[in-house]
Amino acid sequence: MNAHINVGGNRLEVRWHGPRPQEALTLVFLHEGLGCVAMWRDFPAELAAATGCGALVYSRLGYGRSDACSLPRPVSFMHAEGLNGLPELLATAGIKDCILIGHSDGGSIGIIYAGGTPALPLRGMITEAAHVYCEAISIRSIREARERYVKGGLRKNLEKYHGPNTDCAFWGWNGAWLHPDFKRWNLEEYLPNIHVPWLAIQGEDDPYGTPAQVEAIVKQTGGETKALMLSNCGHAPHISQSEATFQAMKDFILKLK
């Protein structure tokens, strides 16, 4: 069931599945740079049911059916979300014990949270296509996305999910990533501070990042990290390799319960 909660004076769209936080471990889903609650489809509900966990899926400010945000987004927008927005959301939602599941920008936000705050409710972390630094392939693909948005059908497709927030969601993401200063964006300082178990998933054909992202995570993280590289897989493993991704996440979660 969709609802809204107030975080920092703004209404955020949320969807709950399964047991509530006082009853079970909660899976917290952090969407990609153009994502929202609806774009996760049935994946959170199915994973919650298979593991006996609860699930909290939410749309960040400016996405989905959450309140709009002002533009342009700063280059540090993921830092603000990981250090301030996400901790406040978890506290407001009453999360007692959780595993973060972050896709792309959502994974990077999870990294900032896990390595830059006390992260007290955190039991473990799963990332899909997370970035720890900016690569040329990322900038190239994000420029191509801008062309598809302006001249192709990307805007119409996103409008089905974001409604009045469509331009806010796209230009907030696209403008920040294409800002000249974003080339220096880097999260490697947070990796040694992350000590919870971590499953890092990436597609071998990801147009937004190379395997070097996962290699940096495995090499520099302070805890036990397992990497899963999937063949014939692009930027969204839970969609293009849903069965393998689901099974890997399920096994990881059950070991932590």
pTM over 0.85: yes
> How high is the pLDDT of residue 69?
94
Give the Cα separation of 95 and 87 in Å (integer). 10
Contacts from 85-89 at CB under 8 Å and sequence distance 24+? 85/7, 85/8, 85/60, 85/61, 86/30, 86/110, 86/113, 87/113, 87/117, 88/7, 88/8, 89/5, 89/7, 89/12, 89/58
pLDDT in tens, the chain (257 residues): 579 999 999 999 999 999 999 999 999 999 999 999 999 999 999 999 999 999 999 999 999 999 999 999 999 999 999 999 999 999 999 999 999 999 999 999 999 999 999 999 999 999 999 999 999 999 999 999 999 999 999 999 999 999 999 999 999 999 999 999 999 999 999 999 999 999 999 999 999 999 999 999 999 999 999 999 999 999 999 999 999 999 999 999 999 98
Q: Are 78 and 109 in contact (CB under 8 A)?
A: yes
8: tokens are: 């920092």
In the three-class reduction of DSSP (H, G, I as helix; E, B as strand; rest coil), residue 140 is classed as helix
Distance CA(217)–CA(227), nearest Å, equals: 9
- 32 close to 104: Cβ distance less than 8 angstroms: yes
Within 8 A by CB and 6+ apart from 27, the residues are 44, 47, 48, 51, 53, 54, 55, 56, 98, 99, 101, 253
Task: Please report, in angstroms and rounded to a whole number, the separation of the first and last CA atoms in the chain.
Answer: 25
What does the pLDDT read at residue 2?
A: 74
pLDDT at 1: 59
DSSP letters for 166-205? HHHHHHHHHHHHTSGGGGG-B-GGGGGG--S-EEEEEETT
Q: For each of the domains in the chain, give its residue range(s) and CATH number, in order of start.
A: 2-256 (3.40.50.1820)
Q: Inter-axis angle of helices 136-151 and 154-162, to 10 degrees?
A: 90
Q: Determine the Cα–Cα distance for residues 197 and 254; give it in Å rounded to an integer.
A: 12
